[in-house]
Amino acid sequence: MINGGEDTTRGGGSPTPVRPERLRGPVEFVGRAAELAQLRRLVASPPCLILLEGEPGIGKSRLVAELLAELPGRHLVGECDDVPEPFPLGVLLDAIRGGADRLGPLNPVAGALAPLLPELTDVLPDAPPPLTDPAAERHRLLRAVAAVLAALSPATLLLEDLHWADPATCELLAYLSTHPVEGLAVVLTARTTAPGSSTPIHDALARTPPWSVTRVALSPLDADDVRRLAARTLRLDDPPQQLTATLLDRTAGIPFVVEEVLRTLAERGGDPLADDSVPFVLRDVLLWRLRPLDEATREVLGAAAVLGMTPDQRILASVLGMDRVAIGAALTAAHRAGLLHDAGDGLRFRHDLARQVVYDLVPRESREWLHLRVARVLEQELPRPVAQLAHHYRRAGSGADFVRNAEAAADLATERGDDATAASFLLQTMDIAELPRPVRVRLAAKLGRSAIDGLSQAEAIPVLERLLADRRLPPGARGELGLVLGRMLRQQGEALRGYTEIECAVPYLRAPRRKAPALAVLAAPDTVVGRHVDDHLARCAEAETAAAASGDAAAHLAVRIARASLLLELGDPAAWAIISELRASAELADRPREHARACLNWAQGALHAGHPAQAEALLAAGRALVDETGYERLASLVEATELSLDRAAGRLDGLVERLGRLVASAERMPVTLLDARAELATVLARTAGTASGRYDQVESAERALREVVADARRVGAIWPLVQALSALARLTVTRRPDDAVRHATDALSLVRGKGILAWAAEAVLVLAEAAAAAGDPGRAAGAVAELEAGIANRDAPLAQAALRRCRELVPA
Q: Which of 301, 289, 233 is nearest to 263 (CA)?
A: 233
Q: What per-residue confidence (pLDDT) applies to 196?
A: 53
- Integer Cα distance of 174 and 164 in angstroms: 15
Among positive and negative, which fits the CA dihedral 337, 342, 348, 353? Answer: negative
Q: Can you count the helices (H) and strands (E) in the chain?
A: 38, 7
What is the C-alpha to C-alpha distance for residues 544 and 738, in angstroms, rounded to an integer?
A: 46
CA 338 to chain centre: 38
What's the length of the chain?
812
| CA 259/CA 255 separation, integer angstroms | 6
Alpha helices in 127-197, H assignment, sequence order: 134-152, 167-178
Q: Are 448 and 481 in contact, with CB atoms under 8 Å apart?
A: yes
Taking only Cα atoms into account, the Rg of the chain, rounded to an integer number of angstroms, comes to 31
Identify the weakest region by mean pLDDT among 1-15, 185-199, 552-566. 1-15
Q: How far apart are CA 409 and CA 424, in angstroms?
A: 10
CA–CA separation, 302 vs 8, rounded Å?
Answer: 19
Where do the H-state alpha helices sit in 52-113? Answer: 60-69, 90-99
Please give the Cα distance from 796 to 775 (Å, whole number): 30
Tell me if the pTM is above 0.75: no
Position 454 scores a pLDDT of 57
pLDDT for 195 beyond 60 = no
In one-letter notation, the amino acid at residue 202 is H
CB contact at 8 A, 664 and 680? no
Backbone angles phi, psi at 160, to 5 degrees: -105, 155
pLDDT above 50: residue 188: yes
pLDDT tens figures, 204-225: 888 888 888 999 998 888 888 8
Single-letter code of the amino acid located at 788: E
pLDDT band at 130 (very low <50, low <70, confident <90, very high): confident
- Per-residue pLDDT at 268: 64
Quick: pLDDT tens for 450-473.
887 655 677 889 989 988 998 888
Task: Among 11-20, 39-48, 139-148, name the one with the lowest average pLDDT.
Answer: 11-20
Residue 61 phi, psi dihedral angles, 5° rounding: -65, -40
Helices (H), 293-363: 295-307, 313-320, 324-336, 352-361
CB neighbours (10 Å) of residue 336? Answer: 12
Tell me what percent of the chain is helix, strand and coil, each rounded to the nearest 5.
65, 5, 30
Q: Quote the DSSP letter at residue 256.
A: H
Tens of pLDDT, residue by residue over 566-595, are: 999 999 999 999 999 999 999 999 999 899
